[in-house]
Amino acid sequence: MTHNVLVVDDEPKLCDLLASALSQNGIGVFTAGNGLHALKVLEAEDIDLVISDWRMPGMDGPQLLAEIKSRYPQLPVIVMTAYSTVKNAVQSMRNGAFDYIAKPFDIDELDITVSKALQFRDILKDNQRMRAELDEHQQIDSLIGDSPSFRRVLQAIESVRESNATILLTGESGTGKEMVARAIHKHGNRADQPFVAVNCAAIPEGLLESEMFGHRKGAFTGAVTDRIGRFQQADKGTLFLDEIGEMPLPLQAKILRALQERVIEPVGDPRERKVDVRVIAATNKNLLEAVANKEFREDLYYRLNVFPIPLPALRERAEDIAPLARHFAHILGATAGKRINGFSPAALQAMSQYAWPGNIRELQNCVERATIVASGAVIEDVDLPGYLFASRSADNGAVFIEGSSIPSDLDAALAQTEKSYILAALAQSNGVQAAAAQLIGISERSFWYRLKKLGIHVDKIVR
């Protein structure tokens, strides 16, 4: 395997010396005289390792290291310095450097350090490739189901995948909106181009515009170099805007212009950039209601809602629970080094009778937990998390309608009902207690009190 190394130093003679030494080992060498030049090389070339000086004019070694770790987190960096103090070495390692070498350095020592770094890079690349293959396998093949409601989703995907129409995916959290977006991209006319996903709710509002459109050096504090945004990263491909309903109103106008005119303006740069992007947006909010409440722009809503695809909740496609569970067990069992052949009838019955408020994501988490604790090749009902049965027993004993059985112990029945709702909320929030309290409409203090009263130990319920 041929490797490419980038040497960054403001001394041309040293760059030439390193290039000569490394090329004798069959390594391709690129050189840069400063940090800014190095970043341009990284954008243009496939680099496996950076060897950078510590002190340079303009952008120095520590600044370049920080920028590389931000943009290319898996790219190893070896720092070299004539000021080989323990402080500098320790600081560079803490900031993410793979290793350091002191000038003047021994060529044999350099060869050993470079060899280790390139081996590390190869391992990361192999892991990334295998993870991408597994993710792709899960993403596409997880579009499993034969229920009428899900068949309508598959038919919609088939109808729109070859077009460039803007798509709006709606549905509850965990219904598989990103899986559908990736399937549309994978089987569409842009499959060989980038798929770029952005969670609009996960990026701080002050950084969202820069994240979307990029920025010029000096546009704001911390902008030490030019940076392209997600629209340009997705050029010729697909941009997936998840949680679009959480986007701030001021930015919505700029997103609308980008969709209408296919141009963007990076922060701090008045020059327009043309982009060719297919946009798929997703939300678990009622956008029409948000429009009525002046929380979402009406014109942007209609621009996004060209081809709407509503995704059903898992409880609305109960016949798909068993095949989905088997698929997850097969994939996750192989990952865990186990051979899982399926589920017992009791386990399938328990899963089919549960409401799955967290939808497919909750089902996958449930199967993953069961796969870990299962002692045999078949997942039994005892391997499933307890909240599946708590919810069912609460429903069986505490629903007061004509003809139903009256509990012999009202306090116990009410406590069981309360416990089932708390367990379901914890499952849907992945164990985040503040979020679970918000789901059932009580304060965090009240939620903690109920956990203690009911003897619920979160670490034993949610992984």
pLDDT tens digits for 412-453? 667 777 777 788 778 777 778 887 887 777 777 778 878 877
Q: Domain boundary at 312, 335, 359, which?
A: 312
| Per-residue model confidence (pLDDT) at position 1 | 57
What single string gives the DSSP state of each residue in 432-454? -HHHHHHHTT--HHHHHHHHHHH
Spatial distance between the Cα atoms of 351 and 366, rounded to a whole number of angstroms: 9
CB atoms within 10 A of CB 225: 17
What single string gives the DSSP state of each residue in 376-400? SSEE-GGGS-THHHHHHHHHHHS--
What's the pLDDT tens digit per position in 359-370?
Answer: 998 999 899 889
Taking a C-beta distance cutoff of 8 angstroms, is the pair 323, 316 a contact? Answer: no
Of residues 412, 410, 442, 400, the one with CA closest to residue 425: 442
Helices marked H in 55-147 — which ranges?
61-71, 86-94, 107-141
| Per-residue model confidence (pLDDT) at position 99 | 85
What's the pLDDT tens digit per position in 51-107?
Answer: 998 888 888 888 898 889 888 888 999 988 775 565 666 677 777 888 888 877 788
Spatial distance between the Cα atoms of 303 and 277, rounded to a whole number of angstroms: 14
Residue 166 and residue 95 share a domain: no
Question: Can you tell me which residue has the tokens 């990736």?
Answer: 182
Residue 151 and residue 226 share a domain: yes
Taking a C-beta distance cutoff of 8 angstroms, is the pair 267, 215 a contact? Answer: yes
Q: What is the DSSP letter of 320?
A: G
The confidence band for 136, taking pLDDT boundaries of 50, 70 and 90, is very low
* Stronger pLDDT, 409 or 261, i.e. the higher one: 261
| Per-residue model confidence (pLDDT) at position 289 | 93
What's the pLDDT tens digit per position in 163-217?
Answer: 999 999 999 988 999 999 999 998 899 999 999 999 988 888 778 888 888 887 7
Q: Please, is 289 exposed, middle or buried when counting C-beta atoms within 10 Å of its C-beta (0-12, 13-18, 19+)?
A: exposed
Question: Can you tell me which residue has the tokens 């967290």?
Answer: 358
Residue 286 and residue 208 share a domain: yes
* Stronger pLDDT, 52 or 334, i.e. the higher one: 52
For residue 229, is pLDDT > 70?
Answer: yes
Q: For the chain, give the percent of residues with pLDDT over 90.
A: 37
What's the pLDDT tens digit per position in 335-377?
Answer: 778 888 899 999 999 999 898 988 998 999 899 889 988 888 9
**Domain-embedded: residue 279:** yes
Q: How many domains does the chain have?
A: 3
Domain with 97 in it: what CATH number?
A: 3.40.50.2300
Q: Domain boundary at 127, 153, 177, which?
A: 127
Which uninterrupted H or E stretch holds 83? none
Quote the pTM value: 0.58
Sheet containing strand 4-8, strands side by side: 28-32, 4-8, 49-53, 77-81, 99-102
Residue 255 and residue 179 share a domain: yes
| Per-residue model confidence (pLDDT) at position 86 | 58
| Per-residue model confidence (pLDDT) at position 402 | 39
Q: Domain boundary at 279, 312, 345, which?
A: 312
Q: What is the DSSP letter of 268?
A: T
Spatial distance between the Cα atoms of 79 and 92, rounded to a whole number of angstroms: 7
Q: For the chain, give the percent of residues with pLDDT over 70.
A: 87
Domain with 226 in it: what CATH number?
A: 3.40.50.300
For residue 276, is pLDDT > 80?
Answer: yes
Q: What is the DSSP letter of 300?
A: H
263 bridge partner residues:
274
State the average pLDDT for the chain: 83
Q: Please, is 210 exposed, middle or buried when counting C-beta atoms within 10 Å of its C-beta (0-12, 13-18, 19+)?
A: buried
CA 239 to chain centre: 14
Residue 275 and residue 152 share a domain: yes
| Per-residue model confidence (pLDDT) at position 41 | 92
Residue 408 and residue 345 share a domain: yes
Give the total residue count for the chain: 463
Over range 146-154, report the average pLDDT. 91
Residue type, 241: L
| Per-residue model confidence (pLDDT) at position 403 | 40
For residue 250, is pLDDT > 50?
Answer: yes
For residue 264, is pLDDT > 80?
Answer: yes
Tokens representing residue 157 in the block: 């995907």
